[in-house]
Amino acid sequence: MARPRLPIGQLGKVSILKLSNGKHRARARMRNQEGNLEILETLGDSEAEALALIHERARLVRYRVGLQLAPSSTVSEVAHDWLATLKKRVAMDRSTKGSLAENSYAEYDSVVRHLVTSQMGEVQMDQLSTAFIDFRLEQVMEEQSRSAAVRLKKVLQLICSHAVRRAALTVNPVREVQRLPGGDRRTSALSAEQWHGVVQLLRAWRQDQRGGTKPDTKKLEDILTIIIGTSLRIGEVLALRRADLDVMSQHPQLHVCGTVVITKTKGTHRQPVPKHSEQNRRIALTTTAQSVARYRLALTGGEADALLFPSKTGNPSTVSGIERLMRAFRAENAEALTELGIDLEEFTTHLFRRTAATFVERAGGLALAARLLGHANEDTTRAFYVVSPELVDPITAEIIDAALLYVPPEVLAHA
C-alpha cells in the first residue's frame, strides 16, 4: 500500500538516533510550498532537545509557506494564533469595518484561558471531532453552567473557522454540534396598559423617603421611555449626546452612533460606534421620547458632546448602575408589577427594547423591526426580540374561504 502523501506544511514521522558522540539526531520529512519534500534534521544534547528543535524548524517552514499552523497543531496553539489576529483588529479605528472592540477581545481571551485551554487545550486539531466537542460541552454544562458552555461553543467555533483558513482543519467540527438544551427565549412584551402602570410606579417610588440617597427615578423613567420609543440598547441610550439629537426637524430623530463600554485601559467611556459599526442608524422619536429629549437637552450644557444621561461626575453612566437601579425598583415593587401581569424575571431594560420591536414587527413587518434594532440578520430579530401573538391573524380564514370558493356550473348558468 502506498505511503499517504504529506500535506503542505505538515511534519512527517520523526525518527531520533543517538550518535556515537552522544548527540541525538532528529530527522523527518516535510512538504514545502512547491509541493516538494524537504528533509529536516537537527542535533541536540538530548532526545527531547532534538525533538524540540525539529518542531521549531518545522514551524519556520510553515511560516515560510504561509501556514503557521498544521493539523498536528494543538487547540491551544490555534487559539493563541487566532487571538493574535484579533489583537490587530483591536488596534484598528473603531469606525473601520472589521475592527474589534477592546472589551470583545478581553471576553474572547478570558474564554480561551479559562475554558478552551482547560477543556481541550492539548488536543490536536486533527483529533478534534464533533463527538468529542459534544462530550466536553455536556461536561461544562453539568460542572459549571449553560452560560459557560454557550461561551465555549461560540469561541471554539471561531477558533475552528480560523483553523480552516490556516489549513489546520478541512471542515469546522463545531457546526454539527447539537444544540445546547435549555435557554428558552424570552416570551413577553409589555402592553400599553402595563407600560403606563410601570411609569406610575416609577413616579411614586420612594417619594416619601426621608434621609439617605434617593434614587434618580426621573432619570430611570426617561431612559426607559427612550428605549421603548426607539428600541435602543441601554448602552446606546447612555451614549446619547446633544449632537445626536435633532428635535427641530419635521420628524424629530436621534442618531445611534455610539455606546457606553468598560475596558481595562479606559474604564467606563463612550465608544464612538454602536455595538457593531454597521449598526449606525437614525431613528424617528415617538411623541413621549421627543418630550424626554427636549427635557434632557434643557439640562445639558451647550457643548455638542454633552451627554443626555451623565453620572453625577459628568462621565458616562454605567450600564451596571442602571441595571442595579432596575433591580432595586423591581424588588421594592414586586407585588405591584406582578399585579400588572409582568414577569419579574424578565423585568430588565431588555424587556422594553423587545416591546418596541414587537410593536413595530406586528404593524410594519420583520424587516422594519430588524432595521430598528440594528440587526443585520432578521433571524436574530425573529428568534430573540419579537414576541409572536398566540392568535393568528383572522384574515387567514378569509384568504382560505376565498381560495376554496366554488360555485357549481349550473348555478353560474342561472346567474
- How high is the pLDDT of residue 377? 67
DSSP string, 323-342: HHHHHHHHHHTHHHHHHTT-
75-176, what's its fold?
Answer: DNA polymerase; domain 1 (1.10.150)
Q: How far apart are CA 99 and CA 127, in angstroms?
A: 32
Cell numbers of 183, please? 435557554
- How high is the pLDDT of residue 12? 86
Confidence band for 383, pLDDT divided at 50, 70 and 90: low
Query: What letter represents residue 40's amino acid?
Result: L
Q: Provide the percentage of residues in the chain whose pLDDT is more than 90.
A: 36
- How high is the pLDDT of residue 226? 92
Q: How far apart are CA 171 and CA 16, in angstroms?
A: 33
Q: How far apart are CA 294 and CA 290, in angstroms?
A: 6
- How high is the pLDDT of residue 203? 92
What's the average model confidence in pLDDT over 135-151? 91
pLDDT tens by residue, 273-288: 877 666 778 888 888 8
The pLDDT of residue 309 is above 90: yes
Best mean pLDDT range from 134-138, 182-186, 377-381, 398-402: 134-138
Degrees (nearest 5) of the Cα angle 26, 28, 33?
135
Q: How far apart are CA 14 and CA 11, in angstroms?
A: 8
Confidence band for 151, pLDDT divided at 50, 70 and 90: very high
- Per-domain residue ranges for the chain? 15-65, 75-176, 192-205+213-346
Cell numbers of 218, please? 426621573
- How high is the pLDDT of residue 15? 92
- How high is the pLDDT of residue 335? 94
Q: Partners of 273 in the beta sheet?
A: none
- How high is the pLDDT of residue 65? 53
Cell numbers of 178, please? 447539537
Confidence band for 5, pLDDT divided at 50, 70 and 90: confident
pTM of the predicted model over 0.85: no
- How high is the pLDDT of residue 388? 55
The distance of Cα 125 from the centroid of its chain, to the nearest Å, equals 25
Q: Are 149 and 141 in contact (CB under 8 A)?
A: yes
Q: Which residue, 184, 179, 186, 183, is CA-closest to 385?
A: 186
HEC profile of 3-68: CCCCCECCECCCEEEECCCCCEEEEEEEECCCCCEEEEEEEECCHHHHHHHHHHHHHHHHHHHCCC
Degrees (nearest 5) of the Cα angle 228, 231, 235?
105
- How high is the pLDDT of residue 245? 92
Confidence band for 235, pLDDT divided at 50, 70 and 90: very high
Please give the helix or strand (H or E) that residue 219 lies within, else none. helix 217-230
Mention the CATH class of domain 192-205+213-346. mainly alpha
| Mean confidence (pLDDT) of the chain | 84
- How high is the pLDDT of residue 132? 93
Query: What letter represents residue 86's amino acid?
Result: L
Confidence band for 412, pLDDT divided at 50, 70 and 90: low
pLDDT tens by residue, 22-63: 899 999 998 876 778 888 888 989 999 999 888 888 877 766
What's the average model confidence in pLDDT over 191-220? 87
Query: In the chain, how long is the greatest CA-to-CA distance?
Result: 115
The pLDDT of residue 384 is above 70: no
Confidence band for 397, pLDDT divided at 50, 70 and 90: low
Matching CATH topology for 75-176 and 192-205+213-346?
no
The pLDDT of residue 139 is above 70: yes
